[in-house]
Amino acid sequence: MENLEKNNVVEIRNRTPASLSKIIVSISAILSTFLSIYMLFGVGNFLNSYVLLDTEYMYAMIALLLPLPFLLYHPTPRSGSKIPWYDLILSLLTFVIAGYFCFSGSLILLEGWEYMAPYYAKVMAFVLWALILEASRRAGGNAIFLICLLISAYPAISTFAPGFLNAPSQAWDTTATFHIFGTESIMGIPMTAFSNLVVGFLIFGVALQYTGGGSFFLNLAFALLGKKRGGPAKVAIFASGLMGSMSGSVITNVLTTGVMSIPAMKKTGFSPSYAGGVEACASTGGVLMPPVMGATAFVMATFLELPYSEIVIAAAFPSILYYFGLFMQIDSYAARNNLKGLPDNEIPKIGKVIKEGWYFIFVFTMLIVMLLYMQREAQAPYYATGTLLIINQIVKIHRWNFKRLLEFIQGVGSLFAELAGILAAIGLIIGSLTFTGKVGTITYELVNFAGDNVLILLVMGALTSFVLGIGMTVTAAYLFLAVTLAPALTSSGLDKVAVHLFMLYWGMISFITPPVAIGAFAAASIAGANGIKTGLQAMKLGSVIYFIPFFFVLNPALIGRGELTDIIIVFISAVIGIVLIASSLQGYLIGLGNLNKLKHMEWPLRAMLGVSGILMALPGGEIVGYSNFEINITALILALPAILLLILKNR
């Protein structure tokens, strides 16, 4: 998913799959999938056979998936497919140790190995700890490895830590057994979410790609929007939003839809950097768009102990506003620069597109119904995937042969390997902070540092999420802040779902913000544009994403949590505010025309429109100190000069 692709862009460690690794990856993918189905559908109860304990299930998943990073990734950036002998040993050792713990699951619980493990088990715990860290380094890069290494060792070295982090140290063997045998470290929230929720959606996302879902959504977008002004850019929004909402991947989104949308944008007059920026923003937003939203949303649901459907509903409001802001900016830009859509002969017929890909819409609808109405979060993606694959084999256009089936299985296995390697290591972070009991101390110090000022805490949270999102995966950054910063914010009276979505949004922002802007750099490579220029364009186009998290965390009505009247008022105000922000940034006021008609007054009026838009979208409330009515009146007063002058100029 999106969280895992930064490493693949920055440093190339992927091996060209050898025959042996292909076989092992395929077997691991099949076994882990069947194991997940066996547990989540209660097959053991139905067949009156053995039902695994939760810890046995997670040890089994670790045994099947954690050996794969040693087969799929080089220890250092280089090319080639040969697997050295030491990687084979590391892979086998991981499988044997985790497999032994799986078969000893009942004994581990009965004898309390978390506190009093036998000597040989302690040795195996140290070895597995080291293997998890190395697997995370290969799957997620050096930054996440160093962070996980330092924090996972913290309980044993806390006596040397400065200031409020100082605490009595635990023995190294006690730390190791807590990490490996406890239920709050490697088998805590990250692996629980992965085993119980993420696996099915990963399979669904890969199935969607291999059955032609990307090309269908792209053709559908071209058929609906291709002829409109700035049509190809609007196509990118629609296609990347739909595809990304199910695949949960920024880079895959860019590489799937961008290869068609970016050349079409350039052809109709968009500059290469602008076209790349549009695609980068559209692909990033797809990961924030329900129903799938990447792995982090599932981890969030597990962490908050809420139904995933509740997270989906809350996330829908800001993601719609984000895409609306992107759409309005593109429409304003196209109108200001008189950019047309594509000619009729280059637009696919809507009837033909739906006839060839109707089942993608059917499966998408089926997934949403099962998630929101039937509340079957764990089982829904399996039903959707099974339905998709059956229909795919009936319809000729994308029918698989045996080779394509193997490619699909290997794609699933590779994605499992990336996520399992990273999530197990992230669990070490949570385990250490839980074991030392420092979560409450960190929360107190943060609140004390901010002087009980919620806005300062929010700014600190935004900057920290952004910085951590650069060096770590979004999931890792989110979980670290969920344990440390979120309690400080929620204790200040903020809504817990809004706080956690706030951290998710700011963790994603690094994908379109220079100097990192990995999504923008990927799009720039297709557009033939400068990466930094593309990143700056993406930053401008996606500007709404910098404000929306603050808005909904200050008033959770903007994520659908509150009275219906409040929800309607703040949402409509936000829509009007986004129109004004887009008009300010692009210099074109929708319905009234180009602001350059006003000559030397253009830039002062654009600035006033921008401030007006921010105020209009800002929800009122106790924290802000003003009501919605007071803020909206102020915003309208600021916008009025530009509106009146344009009306007069047009007359």
Over the chain (651 residues), what is each successive 10-residue block's mean pLDDT?
42 64 92 94 84 92 94 77 86 96 92 90 96 91 87 92 84 94 90 88 87 85 88 86 70 79 88 92 84 77 87 90 92 88 86 90 89 83 93 87 91 88 89 83 73 81 80 75 84 88 87 82 89 91 89 90 89 92 88 80 88 90 78 91 84 68
Torsion of the alpha carbons at 526, 529, 531 and 532, rounded to the nearest 10: -150
Q: Which of 250, 276, 252 is nearest to 264 (CA)?
A: 276
Q: Which two tokens stand for residue 513?
A: 């913000």
DSSP 371: I
Report phi then psi at 117, rounded to 5. -85, 150
Domain stop point among 422, 440, 465? 422
- Within a domain: residue 464? no
Same domain, 347 and 207: yes
The pLDDT value recorded for residue 2 is 43
Q: Is there a single domain that holds both residue 395 and residue 257?
A: yes
135 with 241, same domain? no
Alpha-carbon gap, residue 130 to 390, rounded angstroms? 42
Is residue 574 a part of any domain in this protein? yes
Kindly list the distances between the CA atom of residue 512 and the CA atoms of 7, 140, 279, 585, in Å, as whole numbers in the listed order. 16, 19, 10, 17
Tokens found for residue 351: 């009837």
Same domain (yes/no): 29, 87: yes
Residues 129 and 112 in one domain: yes
Give domain status of residue 463, yes or no: no
Please give the pLDDT value at position 613.
Answer: 92
- Claim to verify: residue 168 and residue 212 sit in the same structural domain: no
In a domain, 101, yes or no: yes
Do 197 and 144 have their domain in common? no
Same structural domain, 162 and 107:
yes
Helix (H) or strand (E) holding 413: helix 402-436
Question: How many other CB atoms sit within 10 Å of the CB of residue 84?
Answer: 12
Would you give the DSSP letter of residue 270? -
Q: Are 82 and 170 contained in the same domain?
A: yes
| Domain's final residue, options 137, 155, 190 | 190
Cis peptide before 515 (omega within 30 of 0): yes
d(Cα 292, Cα 137) in Å, to the nearest integer?
26
Question: Do residues 352 and 237 share a domain?
Answer: yes
**Run of H or E residues at 589:** strand 588-589
Chain-centroid distance, C-alpha 473: 9
User: What is the three-state SS of 576-588?
Assistant: HHHHHHHHHHHCE
- The pLDDT of residue 4: 41
Residue (of 230, 229, 266, 261) closest to 244 by Cα position: 261
Q: Is residue 326 part of a domain?
A: no
Count of CB atoms within 10 A of residue 568's CB?
11
The two tokens of residue 101 are 């713990």
DSSP 562: S
pLDDT at position 55 is 92
Residue 506 included in any domain:
no
Question: Count of domains in the chain?
Answer: 3
| Residue where the block lists tokens 């490895």 | 145
Work out the number of other CB atoms within 10 angstroms of the CB of residue 641: 16
**Nearest-angstrom CA–CA distance, 558 and 494:** 13
Distance CA 64, CA 135 (A): 13
Largest Cα–Cα separation, the chain? 88
Q: Is 328 within the bounds of a domain?
A: no
Whether 472 and 423 have beta carbons less than 8 Å apart is answered as no
The pLDDT score that the predictor gives to residue 247 is 60
Residues 6+ apart with CB under 8 A from 96: none
CA–CA distance, 169 with 325 (Å, rounded to integer): 51
Q: Are 226 and 163 contained in the same domain?
A: no
State residue 10's pLDDT score: 38
The answer to whether residues 198 and 419 touch, using CB atoms and an 8 Å cutoff, is yes
> Tokens at residue 304, please?
């908050």
Quick check: is 587 in a domain? yes
Domain boundary among 392, 422, 452: 422
Same domain? For 220 and 352 the reply is yes
3-state secondary structure of 186: coil
Q: Domain limits at 298?
A: 193-307+338-422
d(CA 64, CA 125): 17
Question: What's the predicted TM-score (pTM) here?
Answer: 0.84
Q: Which residues contact 562 (CB under 8 A, 6 or more apart)?
A: 555, 556
Rounded distance, CA 429 to CA 3, Å?
17
Six-digit token string for 638? 């600021």
Q: What is the pLDDT of residue 15?
A: 66
**Residue 41 to residues 54, 378, 379, 620, Cα–Cα distance (Å):** 14, 9, 7, 45
Please answer whether residues 619 and 628 qualify as being in contact, where contact means their C-beta atoms are separated by less than 8 angstroms.
yes
